[in-house]
Amino acid sequence: QVHMVESGGGLVQAGGSLRLSCAASGRTFSTYAIGWFRQAPGKEREFVAGISWSGGTVDYADSVKGRFTISRDFAKNTVYLQMNSLKPEDTAIYYCAEDRIFKRDYVSRRTYNYNYWGQGTQVTVSS
């Protein structure tokens, strides 16, 4: 069984930065695309950023373009989300998830295309 674990969340002031990490146990996810999603109270889970299995393709939601950067370290079996210039609107629980399809060479924004999910890490941005 694959277990996804997010870490790095916390409380920061507007304009600050955080780096989220996503690690997996049970198997390597080096051959699967990885997505980051977030969910705020009373809202549906939404796509934030994703990276293809090879790391060669990335995609971002319009709301975070220019501020967030997704990357992966294959040696550490870890995916990162660097979050800069944080805004109160970024407050949410952030989740990482593994794509269902072996070596999908693009990023899907649909939650149903992701198989394994972590329990999330809370990001709170104060004004």
Q: Confidence class of residue 111 from pLDDT cuts 50, 70 and 90?
A: very high
The Cα 49–Cα 64 span in angstroms is 8
Question: What is the phi/psi pair of residue 122, to 5°?
Answer: -80, 130
Are 63 and 76 in contact, with CB atoms under 8 Å apart? Answer: no
Amino acid at 75: A
The Cα 71–Cα 78 span in angstroms is 9
Which tokens is 47 given?
């796509």
Other CB atoms within a 10 A radius of the CB of residue 36 amount to 25
Predicted confidence (pLDDT) per residue in 25-57, tens digit: 777 888 899 999 999 999 999 999 999 999 999
Predicted confidence (pLDDT) per residue in 12-22, tens digit: 999 999 999 99
